[in-house]
Amino acid sequence: MRLISAVPAALFVLLIASAATAQPNSSTYPNRPIKVLVPFAAGGGGDIAARLISEEMSKTLKTPVVIENRPGGNGLVGAAQLAKAAPDGYTIGFSGSTVHAGGHAVFKTMPFHPINDFAPIALAFSSPQVLVVKSESSIKTEAELRSWIQANPKTASHSHHNGGSQIAAHLYLKRIQASALGVPYVSPVAALTDLVGGVTAFGFYEPVAAKPLIDSQRVRPLAVSSRARLPLLSGVPTLIESGLTDTELRTWLGFFAPAGTPQPIIRVLGEAVKSALEQASVKEKAHSLGMAEEYLPPDRFRDFLGTDTQFWKKRYEEAGIQPQ
């Protein structure tokens, strides 16, 4: 009888021990490398921003913070992998507004819930869109582009490569009471290539994507969608300056963990992001990419997600764009 009763007791002890070891230990975190899933291709603005912060986080956390690119599906591939990862703080993600705030407005179905399946760590950067035409165009100002589109509704066309650039174009067209054909592309590089080649007439892009072509005088910037002018493009007016009210639009990037990640670990990661964003070298590089550091801690980031989700939903409905 003693042997029989002892077996369940021993099993119980083993189960308790196994459960304890399965739980992430926030008091010793981190004690091994941290992987950052980035749903963007290597070399793009989002990838550069992720590497910029991760390098500084490695110093703060005293452990390697390694980037793993998982592009595809407008960010869905990488985010889906993150949602399924173990909630132990050793797999986190660096994603943006198209997935986590505009997700339900952009996609009919998603392999995860864009908010509930993730634990927000910190908002990191925001970036406006810049309106450009090819340099050989006779159009020199936003007002001239507006007049040309209004006069040529059947031939005017714009390129877009993600939700941010698509919404910026639709919002702009609505404000100038005009229409133009939208042509989708898989990347800003492909979209800008066709714009330079004259396939499309104009488009909205992240500054980091457009700046090399602006510097080489292959495209001409006409306006930015931020409230204030960008230091990177100080000579380029805002759409608001051009007389188009309610045209402020920005996309953002931030860090997430799988839902269920312990809050002490989330706080450690959030503080590491904050410390990285305070570094002068990070700020300087971010500004050179047309990005602004915009830190929000976990709780405020979650509140921001709820508000921004409604913002993007309203913008998509206003533009008449149906989820794909």
134 and 160 fall within a common domain: yes
More confident residue, 192 or 105: 192
Q: Tell me, what's the pLDDT at 8? A: 53
Number of independent structural domains in the chain:
2
CA-CA distance, 194 to 89, in Å (whole number)?
42
Task: With cut-offs at 50, 70 and 90, classify the pLDDT of residue 155.
Answer: very high
- Last-in-domain residue among 233, 268, 289: 233
Token pair, residue 148, equals 């040309």
Residue 15 included in any domain: no
Domain span including residue 226: 130-233
Q: Does the predicted TM-score (pTM) go above 0.85?
A: no
Asked whether residue 51 is domain-assigned, the answer is yes
Same domain? 143 vs 194: yes
Sheet holding 219-224, edge to edge: 181-184, 157-160, 202-205, 130-134, 219-224
| pLDDT confidence of residue 278 | 96
- Mark whether 255 and 229 lie in a shared domain: no
Same structural domain, 59 and 206: no
Could you give the CA distance from residue 129 to residue 172 in angstroms, rounded to a whole number?
Answer: 11
Q: Does 118 lie in the same domain as 156?
A: no
Query: How many Å apart are CA 240 and CA 248, to the nearest integer?
Result: 7
Q: In this predicted model, what pLDDT tens digit does every residue of 218-274 receive, in sequence order?
A: 999 999 999 888 888 999 999 999 999 888 888 899 999 999 999 999 999 999 999
Residue 101 sits in the same domain as residue 170? no
185 and 142 part of one domain: yes
Q: What is the DSSP string of 248-313?
A: --EEEEEEEEETT--HHHHHHHHHHHHHHHTSHHHHHHHHHTT-EEEEE-HHHHHHHHHHHHHHHH
Last residue of a domain, one of 184, 202, 233: 233
pLDDT digits (tens, 9 = 90+) for 27-39: 789 999 999 999 9
pLDDT bracket for residue 24 (50, 70, 90):
low
Q: Is residue 17 part of a domain?
A: no
5 domain-assigned: no
Domain harbouring 35, CATH code: 3.40.190.150
pLDDT > 60? residue 319:
yes
Is residue 324 in a domain?
no
Q: Which of 233, 264, 283 corresponds to the end of one domain?
A: 233
Residue 1 in domain = no
Closest Cα partner for 171 from 20, 317, 8?
317
Is 14 domain-assigned?
A: no
- CATH number, residue 220: 3.40.190.10
Contact 191, 185 (CB under 8 A): yes
DSSP at 84: T
CA separation (Å) from 316 to 13, 114, 202, 225, 324? 55, 17, 20, 16, 12
Distance CA 114, CA 104 (A): 8
> Does a structural domain hold residue 73?
yes
